[in-house]
Homo-oligomer: A and B are copies of this chain.
Amino acid sequence: MDLATLMGIIIGMVLLAFAIIMEGDIMLFWSFSSILIVFGGTFASIMINFTMSQVLSVFPLLKVAFSKKTNDSIGMIDVLVEFAETSRREGLLALEEKAQAVDEPFLQKGIQLVVDGTDAELVRNILEIELVFLEERHGLGQRIFEKMGALAPAFGMIGTLIGLIAMLGDLDDPDQIGMGMAVALTTTLYGSVASNLIFLPLAGKLRIKSDEEILMKQVMIEGILSIQAGENPRIVEEKLKSFLSPVERESSNGGRGGKTSSERMTANA
């Protein structure tokens, strides 16, 4: 689990619940029709704006925002250097089995292509096209979440207008005025919280995870091509580390435990 994502949502919800309890009765803040309008309306509008298959592709992306699979570029560099060593000692074929042990289909596909003796240029082309489509798929996810972040407050306001009109059209019982307005405002509250605590920050997290994943996949492509070219493992390491920031580079030089790198990657997944 990506603790930041989950903790952020939990902290935000607890804070709001705490503030609500401090100020009044929590049941006052529950409204089924508000949920219908904000989430139903947002979903309906998203269905019109996108195609059905695009909307459905969002749910798997959600996993990305919550998953801890940290796109550990440092660990991946270790794995690739290990592969380079194996390849020079035991030949390219020995990589096939090792690649199966790492839970990273992109790496497995690349190694398979190399083991099959595919031309280097073609290996790069195939992997980079896959990367372009990955970027597009993630970019679509971000756009859908940003759209939801824009729609939720709009439907919140629509719900509040409905509540206000209903209340204003029936002012016979003055005792109900306050209650009516309270219910009406609940929808705006729901829309605002959904947008600022859920949809928009998730869109942001998807962007960051996507950038990380693309960086790691670029490291993999360079590594696989270096291995195919039979480069010296030391040089492979130097080359791949230029993708890391100075801070990450330092941390990659210290504190390695007993586990081999590929074990770390597998455990990590």
Contact = CB atoms under 8 A, between A and B. Distances in A.
Interface of A: 2-5, 7-9, 11-12, 15-16, 18-20, 22-25, 28-29, 33, 36-37, 40-41, 43-52, 54-55, 129-130, 133, 136-137, 147, 151, 154-155, 157-159, 161-171, 175, 177-179, 181-183, 185-186, 188-189, 192-193, 195-198, 200-202, 204-205, 208, 242, 245-247
B48 A205 contact: yes
Given A8-B45, A165-B186, A51 B2 contact: yes
Contacts of A18: 33, 36
Contacts of A24: 165-167, 169-170
6 contacts: A12-B40, A12-B45, A15-B36, A23-B183, A54-B208, A164-B185
Given A29-B165, A155-B196, 9 more contacts: A8-B49, A12-B40, A18-B33, A19-B37, A19-B159, A46-B201, A48-B204, A158-B193, A164-B185
A201 B47 CA distance: 8
A36 B19 CA distance: 8
Contact of A50 (B15, B162, B171, B205): B205
Nearest to A189: B161
A212 to B, nearest CB: 8
Give the oligomeric copy count.
Answer: 5
Contacts of A29: 162, 165
A47 to B, nearest CB: 3
Which of the listed residues A15, A23, A151 has the most CB atoms from chain B within 10 Å of its own CB?
Answer: A23
Given A16-B162, A20-B162, A158-B16, A43 B11 contact: yes
Contact of A169 (B163, B170, B178): B178
A4 B47 contact: yes
B11 A47 contact: yes
Contact of A200 (B28, B49, B185, B189): B49
Contacts of A36: 15, 18-19
A168 B197 contact: no
Nearest to A187: B19
A157 B136 CA distance: 35
Which of the listed residues A19, A47, A154, A182 has the most CB atoms from chain B within 10 Å of its own CB?
Answer: A19
